Amino acid sequence: MDFSGLGPTLAVLALTVLLLVCSWKSKRRDSRLPPGPPALPLLGNALQIDKRAPDQSLMKLSKKYGSVFTVWLGTRPAVVLCGFETVKEALVDRADDFGARGTVPSIRKVTKGYGIASSNGHRSLQLRNFAITTLRNFRNGTKTLEDFIQQEAKCLVEVFRGTKELPFDPTFHLTCATANIMCAVVFGNRFNYTDSKLLNLLDMITENMKVISSPWGQLYDMLPNILDYLPGPHNRLFENAARIKNFLREMIQSHKDMRTKERPQDFTASFLSKMEEEKGNPTSEFNDENLLLSTFNIFLAGTDTTSSTMRWGLLLFMKFPDVQKKIQREIDEVIGSERTPAFDDREKMPYTNAAIHEVQRYSNIIPLNLPHTVTRDTEFRGFMIPKGMIVIPLLASVLYDSNYWESPETFSPDRFLDKKGRFKENEAFMPFSAGSRMCIGETVAQMQLFLFLTALLQNFTLRSLAEPHAIDISPLSSGFSTLHRPYQLYCVPRKSA
Ligand code: HEM
C-alpha cells in the first residue's frame, strides 16, 4: 500500500488536534475569565478582529458575549469593557482597581515604564500630579497658555490666507499649530512653520501615528517576539521614537545650559527645579529618564490628537454647511470680525460649543482608549480579572452608546443643546476617558479646539472641491486612532466673501 500521499493530511490532522487541545486547555485554565470567542493558539482572536476597524469588531463581539468579555491578542488575553455604564463603573466607581496603565509591547519597548503615560503606582502619581499642576499654572513671563494659543491661531489664519483660495490639505498646518502649543508647554518656545527641526519632528510623529494605527502596529503588539526579528514598517516606529527622543534630549540640554533665572517657566524648567529640590530624596521620581519620557508623552499625546480632531472638524463643517453657518453667525454676534477669540467666549456660544463637542464624539479619535490593567485580582460583574491583565475600556462603545445618544451614527450638534438652545452636558461624552488615568491635557486641548476653530471660521468659509453630499465622512481606518479620509479644502476669506 502507498502511504506517501498521507503525509500532508496527517500533518494537518495533527495540527488541528493540537489547536483544539490548546484552545480547550486555555479555556479551562481561565474559566473564571469573562466569556469570549474561541481563540487559536499563537493567533488568539486575530482572525475575528478587523485590523482596519478593531473597535467595530469588538463592539460586534460584545453583542454576542456581553459588555465584559475576553479576547486574545495573540497569546495574551485582554478584557474588553463595552458601553458607558460598564466603562464608568470600572474607571470611575472602581478607580482603585482599574486605574493602572496596562503595557503593550510597543509602548514598553519605547518607554521602559518611565514617564507619565506608561508608569504606575508612586511614579505615576508623582508625575501626573506634577504635570497637572504645571499645566494649570503655566505662565511664561506675562504670557498665559491662552496667549500662546491666540498667537498661534493668528499665525494659522495667516498661513491659511496665504493659500489664496487654492485647494490644500490642512494636515501639515494644523499639526504645526498643535505641535507649537506642545513646544510652548514643554519648552516655552515655538518654531516657524518652515523650521527644519519642527518639520522633522512632525514627520516622525505623523508617521508613528500612522504605523501604530495600521495592521502592522497591532500585529507587533500581538507577536512582538517574532516581529522583532522581521523587517517591516513596524521598525519605523522604534527608529522614529529614538529620533524624537534625541530631539527632546537636545532641547532639555539647552534648558540645563541656561541659568535658572533665564529659564522660561515651562514644564521642563519646572521639572529641572523639582529635580534640584528633591536631590537628596532616594524615592524621588524627578530624574532625567522621567523628564525625557514625560516630555515624549506630552508631545506624542498632545500633538496629533488635537490636530486630528480639528481635521475631522473642518471636514464635518464642509459636509454640513448649515453647521458652519450657524457657528459663523454666533462668532459674528459674540466676537465680531476684529477681536481675537478668547476662551471665555465659549460660555456665550452654546452652538459652537455643541458643534465642537459633537466633532469630538463623532470622530472618536482614540476608539480603544489607552490600555489599562487591574492593580489586583479583581471581581467584576461576576467575573475574575487577574492582576496585570490588559483591560480595554472601549471609548468607541461609550461615544456611540445608543442608550445615551440618539442615532449615534448621525452627526448632530443639536444633541448637546436643550430646548432653550443652552449647552447641555451628556455624561457619556468621554473622548478624554475618565477616572484616575484620564487625559491630563483635556483643558489644553479644549482651549485649542475652541480658539483655533473659531479663529478659522471667523476669517474664512471652508469649501470642498466636492459637493457636500459627495464628501465621505466614514473613517479611513481606526486602530490606535480613527483616521479620516485624506481631503483638500479651500478657504474663502469672509470679508470679501
Ligand atoms: C483632543 C485631544 C485629546 C484627546 C482626545 C486625548 C485623549 C486621551 C485619552 C483617551 C487618554 C487615555 C486615558 C486613559 O488611559 O484612561 C489620554 C491620556 C493622556 N493624554 Fe490626552 N488627549 C488629548 C490631548 C492631550 C493633550 C493636549 C495633552 C498634553 C497637554 C495630553 C496628554 C496626555 C497624557 C500625558 C496622557 C497619559 C495620562 C496617564 O497615563 O495618566 N493629551 N488622552
Q: By three-state DSSP, how is residue 81 classified? A: strand
- For strand 76-81 and strand 390-393, is the pairing parallel, antiparallel, or unpaired? parallel
CA of 441 to the centre of ligand 1 (A): 6
Amino acid identity of 379? E
DSSP E strands, 194-333: none
448 lines ligand 1 (CB under 6 A): no
Q: Percent of the chain beyond pLDDT 90?
A: 74
Mean pLDDT of 249-267: 83
Q: What is the pLDDT of residues 264-315, one digit of tens each?
A: 678 999 999 999 999 989 899 999 999 999 999 999 899 999 999 999 999 9
Q: What grid cell was written down for 363?
A: 470622530
Helix (H) or strand (E) holding 78: strand 76-81
Does residue 439 have its Cβ closer than 6 Å to ligand 1?
yes
Residue 378, beta-bridge partner list: 385
Distance CA 130, CA 99 (A): 18
The residues near 494 (Cβ < 8 Å, ≥ 6 apart) are: 328, 337, 458, 459, 460, 461
Q: Quick one: pLDDT at residue 128?
A: 97
Could you tell me if 434 and 90 are in contact, meaning their C-beta atoms sit under 8 angstroms apart? no
Q: Is 306 in the pocket of ligand 1 (CB under 6 A)?
A: yes
The CB of 370 under 6 Å from ligand 1? The reply is: yes
Taking the centre of ligand 1 as the mean of its atom positions, its distance from the CA of residue 9, in whole angstroms, is 52
Asked whether residue 12 carries a pLDDT value surpassing 70, the answer given is: no
Using an 8 Å Cβ cutoff, are 144 and 343 in contact?
no
Our separate counts of H helices and E strands in the chain read 18, 13
- Residue 30 is predicted with a pLDDT of 58
Expressed in angstroms and rounded, the spacing between residue 438 Cα and the centre of ligand 1 is 7
Domains, the chain, in order of start with CATH, read 16-493 (1.10.630.10)
| Arithmetic mean of pLDDT, 189-207 | 89
Mean pLDDT of 24-36: 67
Residue 371 CA: nearest ligand 1 atom is 15
Alpha carbon of 445 to ligand 1 centroid (Å): 9
Contacts of 475 (CB under 8 A, 6+ apart): 53, 482, 483, 484, 485
Q: Report helix, strand and coil shares of the chain as percent, to nearest 5.
A: 55, 10, 35
Mean pLDDT of 47-61: 92
- Is the CB of 117 within 6 Å of ligand 1? yes
Q: Is 77 in the pocket of ligand 1 (CB under 6 A)?
A: no
Counting beta carbons within 10 angstroms of the beta carbon of residue 200, is it exposed (0 to 12), middle (13 to 18) or buried (19 or more)?
Answer: middle
Residue 74 — pLDDT band, cuts 50, 70, 90? confident
Does the pLDDT value for residue 14 go beyond 70?
no
Which residue's alpha carbon is at the smallest distance from atom 1 of ligand 1?
306
Q: Decide: helix, strand or coil at residue 270.
A: helix
Say yes or no: CB of residue 366 within 6 Å of ligand 1. yes
* 8-22: average pLDDT: 52
Question: What pLDDT is recorded for position 325?
Answer: 98
pLDDT in tens, 158-185: 999 999 999 999 999 999 999 999 999 9
221 compared with 380, residue with greater pLDDT: 380
Cα(265) to centroid of ligand 1, in Å?
22
Query: From the CA of 161, how far away is ligand 1's center (Å)?
Result: 31
**Ligand 1 atom 41 nearest Cα:** 437
Q: What's the CA-to-centroid distance between 114 and ligand 1, angstroms?
A: 16
Each residue's pLDDT tens digit, 401-450: 999 999 999 999 999 999 999 999 999 999 999 999 999 999 999 999 99
Identify whether the C-beta of residue 140 lies closer than 8 Å to the C-beta of residue 147: no
- CB-ligand 1 contact for 216 (6 Å cutoff): no
Classify each residue of 320-347 as buried b or exposed e, where b means 16 or more C-beta atoms within 10 Å of its C-beta.
beebbebbbebbeebbeeeebbebebbe
Among 93-107, 134-148, 165-179, 381-395, the range scoring the smallest mean pLDDT is 134-148
From the alpha carbon of 131, which atom of ligand 1 is closest? 35
pLDDT confidence of residue 28: 44
**In the predicted model, what is the mean pLDDT of the chain?**
91
Whether the per-residue pLDDT at 2 is higher than 70: the answer is: no
* Choice between 362 and 256, residue whose per-residue pLDDT is larger: 362
Say yes or no to pLDDT of 352 above 60: yes
Q: 408: closest CA among 419, 418, 399?
A: 399
Ligand 1 pocket test, candidate residues 120, 432, 447, most atoms within 8 A of CB: 432
| pLDDT reading at 370 higher than 70 | yes
